[in-house]
């Protein structure tokens, strides 16, 4: 049996192919697979092309191919029906399972077991499931209503404290100078135009989160306080999930996403989890949530896989690299 695992996002689609021994057969990256962003036909074509590039040559495939898919923005049954219909058109797939991208991250961290996954990239959300199969999702309300602890949130808080420091309404911080350089203006007084002109998509502003983490690493106390704040918010989202589920202690809690790849941000998150949970089991980080599709497929095809194996697979993907393709918009 060959398993293809796909993480179909709004910007790119990541795919890996493994055999029944979890030998990595191929990795690929293609254009966006979120049909809500690019339409069903384009999403199908991008997903199909990315799978084709990750698999061995079709004429050499002698085993059944099954898939585990995570799709960004998929929360309603109507959305799943659209995705299922266009995956049915991909002939190489004998069978497949579909979840949201957040649930895929949960599979990546827990191998499908009970626990809580916190996803922190441009946005942020937390998702958990217990032994009964009950699941809960918190946060993830978008950049305007919430996403506390996300890259956008950290960037916005960084810009707010930079403005306060510039005015004298708060402590001085190197974030003021960093914002001036990041948005390519001569003076902080000119910051309003580039910020408001590029407020959407949120990723344009969220990129400033890297400057906040860099300032904290350089010893800026204001920036470090913001990282503490973000870590506490992410842990709070996880604790809200825990409060609604019947999870056995120690409670597995882990994090994925670009923001949590920062060592300093992750440290603040782990500290906050240990403070807010009575007995947490903090899971090791996963850089490539796409491994979750392997656990998803295994869960539905009598195939055993554990967290250690997923982390080892994650490391192999990191060494192999994702072969980026030009996004097809």
Tens digit of pLDDT for each residue in 196-212?
988 777 778 999 999 99
**Cα atoms in the 13 Å half-sphere on the side-chain side of 240:** 15
pLDDT in tens, 273-285: 999 999 999 998 8
* Cα distance between the two ends of the chain: 33
Radius of gyration of the chain, Cα coordinates, nearest whole angstrom: 20
CA nearest neighbour of 311 among 281, 286, 276: 286
Percent of the chain with pLDDT over 90: 60
- Whether the predicted pLDDT of 93 surpasses 90: no
User: Which residues have C-beta within 8 Å of that of residue 131, sequence separation ≥ 6?
Assistant: 114, 246, 248
Token reading at 296: 């998803």
pLDDT value for 327: 33
Torsion of CA 89, 94, 99, 100, to 10 degrees: -40
- Whether the predicted pLDDT of 325 surpasses 60: no
Cis upstream peptide for 167 (omega within 30°): no
- Cα gap 184→24, rounded to integer Å: 43
Mean local confidence (pLDDT), 72-87: 79
pLDDT in tens, 115-141: 999 999 888 999 999 999 999 999 988
Count CB neighbours of 218 within 10 A. 11
- Whether the predicted pLDDT of 78 surpasses 80: no
- Whether the predicted pLDDT of 33 surpasses 90: no
pLDDT in tens, 150-192: 999 999 999 999 999 999 999 999 999 999 999 999 999 999 9
Lowest-confidence segment of 57-61, 280-284, 323-327 by average pLDDT: 323-327
Q: Are the beta carbons of 34 and 44 closer than 8 angstroms?
A: no
pLDDT in tens, 211-270: 999 999 999 999 999 999 999 999 999 999 999 999 999 999 999 988 898 889 999 999
User: Which residues have C-beta within 8 Å of that of residue 312, sequence separation ≥ 6?
Assistant: 22
What angle, rounded to 10 degrees, do the helices at 175-182 and 151-167 form?
110
∠ Cα 245 138 312 (to 5°): 80
- Whether the predicted pLDDT of 75 surpasses 80: no
Q: What is the side-by-side order of every strand in the sheet holding 24-30?
A: 24-30, 13-18, 2-8, 65-71, 95-100
pLDDT value for 143: 86
pLDDT value for 163: 97
Mean local confidence (pLDDT), 276-301: 92
**Top mean-pLDDT range of 17-21, 52-56, 274-278:** 274-278
Q: Are the beta carbons of 296 and 1 closer than 8 angstroms?
A: no
Which pLDDT band, with edges at 50, 70 and 90, does 326 fall under? Answer: very low
């Amino acid at each position: 049996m060959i398993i293809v695992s796909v993480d179909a996002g709004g910007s790119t689609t990541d795919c890996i192919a493994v055999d029944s021994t979890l030998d990595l057969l191929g990795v690929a990256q293609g254009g966006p697979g979120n049909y809500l962003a690019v339409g069903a036909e384009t999403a199908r074509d991008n997903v199909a092309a990315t799978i084709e590039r990750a698999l061995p040559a079709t004429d050499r495939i002698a085993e059944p191919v099954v898939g585990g898919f995570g799709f960004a923005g998929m929360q309603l049954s109507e959305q799943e029906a659209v995705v299922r219909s266009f995956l049915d058109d991909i002939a190489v797939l004998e069978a497949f399972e579909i979840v949201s991208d957040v649930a895929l991250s949960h599979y990546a961290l827990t191998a499908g077991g009970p626990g809580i996954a916190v996803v922190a990239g441009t946005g942020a959300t937390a998702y958990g499931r217990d032994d009964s199969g009950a699941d809960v999702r918190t946060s993830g309300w978008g950049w305007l209503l919430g996403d506390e602890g996300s890259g956008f949130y950290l960037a916005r808080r960084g810009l707010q404290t930079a403005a306060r420091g510039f005015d004298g309404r708060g402590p001085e911080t190197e974030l003021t100078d960093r914002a001036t350089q990041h948005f390519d203006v001569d003076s902080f007084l000119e910051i309003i135009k580039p910020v408001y002109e590029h407020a959407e998509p949120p990723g344009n502003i969220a990129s400033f989160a890297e400057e906040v983490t860099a300032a904290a690493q350089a010893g800026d106390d204001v920036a470090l306080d913001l990282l503490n704040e973000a870590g506490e918010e992410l842990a709070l989202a996880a604790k809200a999930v825990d409060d609604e589920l019947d999870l056995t202690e120690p409670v597995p809690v882990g994090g994925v996403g670009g923001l949590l790849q920062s060592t300093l941000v992750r440290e603040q998150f782990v500290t906050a989890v240990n403070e807010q949970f009575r007995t947490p089991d903090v899971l090791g980080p996963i850089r490539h949530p796409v491994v979750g599709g392997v656990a998803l497929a295994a869960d539905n095809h009598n195939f055993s896989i554990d967290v250690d194996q997923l982390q080892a697979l994650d490391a192999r993907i990191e060494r192999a690299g994702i072969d980026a393709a030009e996004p097809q918009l």
